[in-house]
Chain A
């Protein structure tokens, strides 16, 4: 095991630059929104940008407690996927910290974060199209490759959860339907035995029936105690399963609260629930 910097009072040198001043929406302290005291993932005043562009995320703070499902809502281009990319280490952060299970992972390489149990299901499902379903799933367990027996067990569990995938295990993943691909994407993430799951728009491009099935699976995972950060444009579905939610606009948190509070909020209803 690599020795990580103790989290709580260590400040990552890369992110030591002063964060921009907080804006109206994020002024409320995270604790005030009802987050428990010891979160599994805490995002502290995070800013991020693509090469040379203006910051796409600015001063985002968010906490995910154990067993909790937090939804991140926002319009196209609000920076939702960017937030997940930064959490997974595909994009470096300009300022702020990411603490996962008490460890500062702000500067960790993407693969090291997966090893620690922070697993993402990316936008658009991202099948390894030419590889078989089984190979896709196995690669989800790449970080546990030294434990083949455990891997087999997890694979059986995934097949039990998605019997359809078992039937199609030798088929190229690229030839599956959208719903089946979503199953592979979720199953592949499960193979990594995540300690927290980041889901980027699981409903994207799926038929309503399949969306409902997917959300049932997500709800099931939450019930089994897996903390989930869920990104969605389909706000009503998301708020139906979420404990809490935040709303991103232009890279900043503009609203936050329990799922019920946000579902009741005029502004959220108008902008994201299509009322």
Chain B
């Protein structure tokens, strides 16, 4: 593809420098010096410690696997280039096992005993919500990846930020694309019968209203249900019929809901929300369903099908290529999220050193326009710990078992004439922004 040739030359310089041949020599020299006992300032060479606290069991473990690989990939890059100012990064990894109290205890241990500079994780919102006060209390920054950061209490947000861009809300915004490109006006929704499913239901209803669409009915079934035909048949029976369907639910629930629309005769465009943006979870989506399924994704997921003119294509492609080379597997959205969690922290350490408080201050006040492997830039502030423009994701659909670029969410917003203030106001309402 012609885009490949072009992008190789416009890779951001801060990334490539670490792969320059020179860096290997310097690290060899460093090793030799160490071996000869020439490193006199022993404390100065003490490693920088980073904690990785992810959930390796349970239904979300599959995401953690990718996030862990992504994060370690970034750390390996730094260490292979000789560390940060000669100090290697040492990783201390723990498994939350999906238990919030265990995660809290492990976070305290990382902060107090292991004396880490910052923690990458936790990843799952369920875990984070049960321990979100711990980072504040132990004054160590948690570079987390909750898909629904808005659920984190305001008082805890100063020490917790999210690296996950394609959260529930940005996905809900995919409705704009449905309206703009497919002229969808009446939508129905199938979500999970739990607090998060309910919250996404409210966000979708509110967004539909903002866009001048009609949310006809929001139905919910337990996340453990695998026969979703009762709800889908009900949606199919709506008079007049729905023109689009929003599906929320990760894992098999989401995939099954999409596939069973065929059976229930709900052959309308689907906006899928729920984070199954990994190959394992879409491989069972039937081709007919995939074609009319739309999701909002990070750019790295659709790097191959992005227009060459995309402003962030280079970073996304570079990440994908490096990841593929290192792990011999297709990079996913969570792989990039993991990489970005590590990148954010490492960038802070490179600029202000390993002091936990300085790291936090830097991320919230100085780290401007920071490029992410997900193909997005982030500008965190104390009131906005996501730091991304939610319209900055792209729309994809599923073809041949992979994600294919369909368009930019920003364009649809422009076309529909939605004001920035309306979005900001909505984000305030959903507590994504602190006032």
Whether A and B touch directly in their complex, counting CB atoms under 8 A apart, is answered as: no
- Which residues of chain A have a CB within 8 Å of any CB of chain B? none
- Which residues of chain B have a CB within 8 Å of any CB of chain A? none
